[in-house]
Chain A
Amino acid sequence: DVKVTQSSRYLVKRTGEKVFLECVQDMDHENMFWYRQDPGLGLRLIYFSYDVKMKEKGDIPEGYSVSREKKERFSLILESASTNQTSMYLCASTEGVRQYFGPGTRLTVT
């Protein structure tokens, strides 16, 4: 079974803090993704990576950066967290056309 894990299920941070969200997949997938999910807006793509050290902006990259130093790990970084970044963050990796999602991190920025 494909397994995508995320470092935290719940996270509470203060405005201005630097936040790291970690994602690991165990299936040697090349493509990895970060989304955020908000009520009424669905999942929106923040960034994706198709290889180590390669990244591309998604639809809403502002306020975020990413890092992919190893194939199995894709990190999302909030340089200076703001309250409008309170959301559910979902990581995914791809096998063919199927995306496998991690369980999500619910981030609250106060």
Chain B
Amino acid sequence: RKEVEQDPGPFNVPEGATVAFNCTYSNSASQSFFWYRQDCRKEPKLLMSVYSSGNEDGRFTAQLNRASQYISLLIRDSKLSDSATYLCVVDRSGSARQLTFGSGTQLTVLP
């Protein structure tokens, strides 16, 4: 079983749609959680951290459920520019030294 598992995708959604990605992790001792975004042929970039209380950044909302070892990302009012691969990332160390990346979920927002 992979340490971090994501919906395989791809997700193809129309502009304006709401889309949700899920991720599960196997190591209950994991300390921190993140979503990274990776555009085609580009490097990953931090999208947002994920907290147990949930956090929101504009159209993006991330949630963490430690009991179920489950992380989610919700994107509201999708834009064409949201098209990318979204990587679920789990930090085993608490100091960003031992990150485990999911294989990513590809999103395409269609006009």
- Chain A positions near chain B (C-beta within 8 angstroms): 31, 35, 40-45, 48, 50, 56, 58, 90, 94, 96-99, 101-104
Contacts and interface: CB of A to CB of B under 8 A. Distances in A.
B101 A97 contact: no
Given A41-B103, A42-B102, A104-B43, A97 B97 contact: no
B96 A97 contact: yes
Interface residues of B, number: 21
Interface string B42-54: 1111100100000
16 contacts: A31-B97, A40-B103, A42-B102, A43-B101, A44-B101, A45-B100, A48-B97, A50-B97, A58-B98, A97-B49, A97-B91, A98-B96, A99-B44, A99-B96, A103-B42, A103-B43
B33 to A, nearest CB: 10
Contacts of B42: 103
Contacts of A97: 32, 34, 49, 91, 95-96
Would you call the interface of chain A mostly helix, strand, loop, or mixed? strand
Contacts of A40: 103
A96 B103 CA distance: 23
Contacts, number: 48
A80 B47 CA distance: 37
B55 to A, nearest CB: 13
Nearest to A96: B96
Contacts of A96: 96
B97 to A, nearest CB: 6
B19 interface: no
B109 interface: no
B41 to A, nearest CB: 8
B43 A43 contact: no
A42 B104 contact: yes
Nearest to A102: B43
A90 B45 CA distance: 12
Contacts of A41: 103
